Structure 1
Amino acid sequence: MRQVADGSSDAQFRTALYNMRTASCTVHDVAFLNSRIINISPDTCIGLKSVYRKASIIIARNIQEDRLNENKTLLDFYSIDREVGSAAEKKGKKSRRVPPALIQKYIWNTCPSNTGMIPGKLQLCRGLPVLIKHNFATELCITNGQEAIVEGWQSKRVDKDIQALEVVFVKLINPPTTVRFDILPDNVVPITPVNTVFSCSIPNNNVTVTIDRYSGHRLGKPSSRDSSS
């Protein structure tokens, strides 16, 4: 989450966040944070105002972020996974195979904390506010922490009722410079899937498998974890 203003309230907020992380809040920090508590009354709740509809929410865990994002109709896009074998093949490369169905279902739906923070399923819709979580291209402002809006995507069917992303198009919000691609509107950029290798524990089988995952990198915006604030 990036603060773009530098007023007295912004300075107080930064100080309070820092002190919260080190468990050293002062009386002034507590008073300031109490002054920012949302009124839950239906008549005055600021959460109902349009200006706050896309504001970040600081939370503790990724699983809470995913739950908060489930209040709108979203489309599911799944990763393409290959299980990395232990036997070395010719040219020194390890074998890769499609995971068994039960393991595949588990690693698609398990918490991202069990899959190297790379989710097996991305849920998207047009107009969804997102936060880019990978440095794809610094010179094009496609960097970790850049805010954007989902404009569209291209996908392919990899199995019955299973779609995998090929590219996501997002519009950057207030980038440092205007980004232009020949066939895209200003500040609309493509985000392509990447390969990531991680180990995942399968509780029912009491085994750990190594997975090579081809997936769109984690995107999220409506919630920000306290560790990244």
Structure 2
Amino acid sequence: MRTEDVRYLELLNRLRSGRSTREDYQLLCSRIIGSPNLKTSLRQSPWNEAPILVFRNTVRTQINNRAVLNKTIELGVTPIVCVAQDYVRGAMIDDPRLRKAILELPDNRTEHLPGYLPLVPGMPVLLTENIATELGLSNGTRGVFHQLVYEECLQDTQLYENNFPEHTKFVLQPKYALVEFPSCKLDHALSKLGQKIIPICLSEQTFQFDIKELLAENASKATKLTKRATKISIKRKALPLVPAYSITTHKSQGQTLGKVIIDLVVPPGPVEIASTYVPLSRVKRLEDLLILRPFKFETLQVQPSAAQLDELNRLDTIAKETLKHYNVST
């Protein structure tokens, strides 16, 4: 367990077994942004660099895009957006409506290669594929973007301008991005690059897109329009990076974060114990956590399944045996 705060550890143990109390709820509510006794500013360090954990990929993308654009305004630089290159049967998509629809897909539907990748020097990014796991460069590794190397390309950008400010520079042929990975295990700096700075090249992935999404807003109505197969295979070339101002709770699993801002208003539908336990357990102390907005007590009342209880009991048994063996050996 990564948690160092004993009181917070007890809260998490009750949460994961479905036994959260009103006192637990009140304690967490004391960390909601805007609470009377909470003297913090999101504009100042360290909270201005804390990632925001959310449940939905679309919300994450919206927060990230806005955060990057705000950073460009703060630095007084021109926004840069890398636009993915999408192909069908080896030819680049030239139909404007289809191209726009595919570019706007959330990256959880495009094998984690974003259609639009806004960039600004100094921004946090996440690697979205395994580059060199032996060096610590794997899916989910956090880094800091430094520079984009690309070829100039004169193309019509009217497809993209309604998503970003008018003065945005759209890069259609990126070569690679220079990204600093503090946790990288590379012993020596690469030629002419600083320590821990790694060139990240284009990746290539294939995903499916159902063109019924373009035929009508109502999917059932679209189905009646055609009985033929409507899915097409899209090959995408793009940088395997996404901004990391905001990340999904799913992507945060296994990470220990210094400071974090989380949203505990869960989306409609079935809720699992991990939905709340995962984001709350990313930090070592309660004071390292801020909660984005008020949430319901019922959010903490999710009961673990029988299989989850069996796994929790198994892990508790291993922990006790390990501690017992440690005490005997010392």
Q: TM-score range by the shorter chain?
A: 0.7 to 0.9
Letter of the 1:165 counterpart: P
Match of 1:82 among 83, 87, 91: 87
Give me the identity figure in percent.
20
In the alignment, which of 249, 257, 281 is matched to residue 226 of structure 1?
249
Gaps of 5+ in 1: 85-95
- Is residue 2:152 matched to residue 1:154? no
Query: Given the alignment, which residue of 5, 12, 24 partners 1:8?
Result: 5
Q: Is the 8 A contact 1:134 1:144 kept in 2?
A: yes
Give distance in 1, aligned partners of 2:240 and 2:10.
30
Aligned residue type for 1:54:
E
1:82: how far off?
0.9
Q: Indicate the residue corresponding to 1:125 in structure 2.
A: 120
Report the counterpart of residue 100 of structure 1 in structure 2.
94
Structure 1 contact 12–29 (Cα < 8 Å) conserved: no
Please say if residues 135 and 184 of structure 2, whose CA atoms lie closer than 8 Å, have aligned partners that are also in contact. Answer: no
- Please state whether the residue corresponding to 1:38 is helix, strand or coil: coil
Q: In 1, are the aligned partners of 2:63 and 2:246 still within 8 Å (CA)?
A: yes
What is the alpha-carbon distance in structure 2 between the residues aligned to residue 226 and residue 32 of structure 1?
21
- Asked if 1 retains the 8 angstrom alpha-carbon contact of 2:140 and 2:251, the reply is no
Hey, what does 1:195 align to over in structure 2? Answer: 204
Higher strand share: 1
TM-score with structure 1 setting the length = 0.78
**Residue matched to 1:181:** 190
Separation in 2 of the partners of 1:123 and 1:17? 40
Which amino acid is the alignment partner of residue 190 of structure 2?
Answer: F
Structure with more contact order per residue of length (Cα contacts < 8 Å, sep ≥ 6):
2
- Given that 1:16 and 1:29 are in contact with CA atoms closer than 8 Å, whether structure 2 keeps it comes out as no
Verify the 8 A CA contact 1:38 1:46 in the aligned structure 2: no
Computing the radius of gyration over CA atoms, which structure comes out larger, 1 or 2? 2
In structure 2, the residue matched to 1:208 is 231
Residues 146 and 173, structure 1, Cα contact 8 Å, conserved in 2:
no
CA distance in 1, matches of 2:56, 2:232: 24
* Distance in structure 1 (CA, Å) of the matches to 2:199 and 2:214: 39
Moved over 6 A (4+): none
SS at match of 1:204: helix
Deviations 1:127-184 (A, max 9, x none): 1111222211123322223221111011124451552321111111344565521221
Whole-Å separation in 2 of the counterparts to 1:17 and 1:148: 34
Q: Kindly tell me: are residues 116 and 131 of structure 1, through their superposed partners in 2, closer, same or farther at Cα, counting changes over 3 Å?
A: closer
Q: Match of 2:250, SS?
A: helix
**TM-score (norm: length of structure 2):** 0.56
Partners in 1 of 2:210 and 2:114 — Cα distance? 14
Instruction: Give 1:11 shift.
Output: 6.4
Decide whether the 8 Å contact of 2:131 with 2:137 is kept in 1: yes
Runs of 5+ consecutive residues of structure 2 not aligned to the other structure = 73-78, 158-169, 216-221, 223-229, 253-330
